[in-house]
Amino acid sequence: MEIVSILVNIIIFLSTLFSYFLITKHKKSQRCIAKLPQGSMGWPYLGETLQLYSQDPNLFFASKQKRYGEIFKTYILGCPCVMLASPEAARFVLVTHAHLFKPTYPKSKEKLIGPSALFFHQGDYHTRVRKLVQTSVSPEAIRKLIPDIETTANSALESWASGGQVISVFQEMKKFSFNIGILSVFGHWESNYREQLKENYSIVEKGYNSFPTKIPGTAYSKALSARKRIREIISEIICQRKEQRLTEKDLLGHLLNYKDEKGETLTDEQIADNVIGVLFAAQDTTASVLTWILNYLHDNQKLLEAIKAEQRAIYEANEEGKKPLTWGQTRNMPVTYTVILESLRMSSIISFTFREAVVDVVYKGYLIPKGWKVMPLFRNIHHNPDFFPAPHNFDPSRFEVAPKPNTFMPFGNGVHSCPGHELAKLNMLVLIYHLVTKFRWEVMGSESGIQYSPFPVPLQGLPTKFWRNE
């Protein structure tokens, strides 16, 4: 019996070894058959970085796709990349095979936000923290913020109109979005913290896309110092909450109260990194879209009148604005909502996202080598005439019918999609309601065009003058 057992074990071992050999051979043969996508790697070291950042990204990506197809290679920001311009490819990377690709950011940017921020991670830690963020910005949570968002929107609009000056819409929308972000993270708390955070966040933001050198006096060096001060401010707030045993339902409260199945909590460092990360995610993207909305409505008076009629009906139902907006009313603004969706499509604030292959990946016969960056191109998909006829025309009516699956991804897709997208859309709906029912505006200057900073916005942030309705 013992001899039989030994023989059986030997047979099992040999068969396992043979199977492993066949699988390995198959994978190697697959890798040999697969080839790198077509494309240009540009100049040594520089690659095609200068071409990407010295022209309209639309032209760069579109010309590549026209020449090489929906999968092509390039070299930018010091990294070899594979770019993907089809809905199927984007879903492959972000959803169905997301485990083969990890989120990746330049180390210089990671230092400014914080290495424990959820969008630098995957796996259990990412899942736990993402759930906490989603809970704090769920429909049940944000519906309670409507009165505060209304107050913030009214205050901003009044300040724009009262000065009688031309303002940069983008810069003012950034302030508005940041104030809402602060509200969702910290709830109601003393204003001196808010002002300190604003001041230091502004410094961090200026250094975020600068050359990453620690030489004193440079934008990046100043940003690192300001980031340290933000961390100290958050530590103060955490200490106060712990001392007072506060159990707020804002994001900070959810992060502080979290315990896993072993009873372990998040460290103060992890909490601070995620707070800073959420504030980063909340500001520029929402502000960019709101700037484009004002631009598109200014250029389309017929559409503006349709929105005014829709919002005026709600305004009158609320006794000329004496009653606050309700959650139900914000869910019943169909014309305004299609304008928001079409603005998200047209502007495509997030042109692409970065992932990195963690193993050699073969997709549709093409090899994506381990360590290469992978970039699903949201902008190309949003401007593809096969999915959106006449894609360069601003036409909100196209969203009266739901777009084809995976063709509209303004907030990304998969486990790393933006968890705060409902709050962002609520901000837009509330601000538009108060804007069109109480104010009018005129875009100043004749110069048109787009600037990238790094998000696309109208030139000079859309210089505009506001007036209160008589």
How does strand 456-458 pair with strand 355-357?
unpaired
How far apart, in whole angstroms, are the C-alpha atoms of residue 194 and residue 116? 23
Tokens 């992978």 belong to: 374
pLDDT at res. 415: 86
How far apart, in Å, are the Cα atoms of 188 and each of 177, 185, 233?
16, 9, 15
pLDDT at res. 281: 83
Q: What is the pLDDT of residues 140-149, one digit of tens each?
A: 999 999 999 9
How far apart, in whole angstroms, are the C-alpha atoms of residue 200 and residue 195? 9
| Structural contact between residues 222 and 203, judged by C-beta atoms closer than 8 angstroms | yes
pLDDT at res. 349: 84
pLDDT at res. 451: 82
Q: Is residue 253 part of a domain?
A: yes
How far apart, in Å, are the Cα atoms of 47 and each of 41, 329, 331, 337?
5, 51, 47, 41
Q: What is the pLDDT of residues 122-139, one digit of tens each?
A: 889 999 999 999 999 999
Highest mean pLDDT among 107-111, 248-252, 255-259, 439-443: 439-443
Please tell me which residue, 250 or 464, carries the higher pLDDT value.
464
CB burial readout 356-365, b (16+ within 10 A) else e: bbeebbebee
pLDDT at res. 18: 40
Q: Is the pLDDT of residue 309 over 70?
A: yes
Please tell me which residue, 43 or 400, carries the higher pLDDT value.
400
pLDDT at res. 189: 67
What own/partner pairs with CB < 8 Å and gap ≥ 24 does 205-209 have?
Answer: 205/283, 205/284, 207/112, 208/109, 208/112, 209/453, 209/454
pLDDT at res. 448: 78
Average model confidence (pLDDT) for the chain? 87
Q: Is residue 196 part of a domain?
A: no
Q: Whole-prediction pTM value?
A: 0.87
Q: Is residue 339 part of a domain?
A: yes
Tell me which residue of 202, 359, 374, 174 sits closest to 284, measured CA to CA.
174
Q: Is residue 1 part of a domain?
A: no
pLDDT at res. 78: 78
Q: Is the pLDDT of residue 111 over 60?
A: yes
Calculate what percentage of the chain has a pLDDT beyond 90.
61
pLDDT at res. 44: 81
Neighbouring-strand partners of residue 368: 361
Position 22 confidence tier, pLDDT thresholds 50, 70, 90: very low
How does strand 463-468 pair with strand 167-168?
antiparallel
Q: Give me the mean pLDDT over the 106-123 stretch.
A: 87
The contacts of residue 63 (CB under 8 Å, 6+ apart) are none
How far apart, in whole angstroms, are the C-alpha atoms of residue 155 and residue 63? 44
Neighbouring-strand partners of residue 1: none
Q: Is residue 315 part of a domain?
A: yes
Q: Give me the mean pLDDT over the 300-306 stretch.
A: 96
SS3 at position 333: coil
Position 3 confidence tier, pLDDT thresholds 50, 70, 90: low
- The DSSP code sequence of 356-413 is EESS-EEETTEEE-TT-EEEEBHHHHHT-TTTSSSTTS--GGGGGSPPPTTS--TT--
Q: Is residue 205 part of a domain?
A: no
Q: Give me the mean pLDDT over the 62-81 stretch.
A: 89
Tokens of 149: 């968002």
Q: Give me the mean pLDDT over the 364-377 stretch.
A: 94
Q: What is the pLDDT of residues 416-461, one digit of tens each?
A: 888 899 999 999 999 999 999 999 999 997 777 888 766 788 989 9
Q: What is the pLDDT of residues 381-412, one digit of tens each?
A: 999 999 999 999 999 999 999 999 999 999 98
Tokens of 296: 């598109």
Q: Give me the mean pLDDT over the 78-100 stretch.
A: 93
Q: Sign (positive/negative) of CA torsion 128, 131, 136, 137?
A: positive
Q: Give me the mean pLDDT over the 298-315 stretch.
A: 96
SS3 at position 181: helix
Name the domain count of the chain. Answer: 1
Q: Is the pLDDT of residue 173 over 50?
A: yes
Q: Is the pLDDT of residue 21 over 60?
A: no
Q: Is residue 7 part of a domain?
A: no
Taking residue 246's Cβ as centre, other Cβ atoms within 10 Å add up to 14
Q: Is the pLDDT of residue 345 over 60?
A: yes
| Structural contact between residues 100 and 260, judged by C-beta atoms closer than 8 angstroms | no
Q: Is residue 459 part of a domain?
A: yes
Q: Is the pLDDT of residue 52 over 80?
A: no
Please tell me which residue, 172 or 10, carries the higher pLDDT value.
172
Q: Give me the mean pLDDT over the 351-369 stretch.
A: 93
Tokens of 139: 């429909």
CATH of the domain at 349: 1.10.630.10
Neighbouring-strand partners of residue 83: 72, 375
How far apart, in whole angstroms, are the C-alpha atoms of residue 102 and residue 123? 10
Give the structural domain span for 364.
28-187+248-468
Tell me which residue of 53, 49, 51, 46 sits closest to 452, measured CA to CA.
53
Tell me which residue of 454, 301, 375 sits closest to 90, measured CA to CA.
375
How far apart, in whole angstroms, are the C-alpha atoms of residue 41 and residue 22? 35
Q: What is the pLDDT of residues 440-450, one digit of tens each?
A: 999 997 777 88
Q: Give me the mean pLDDT over the 36-47 stretch.
A: 87
pLDDT at res. 368: 96
Tokens of 387: 């999915």
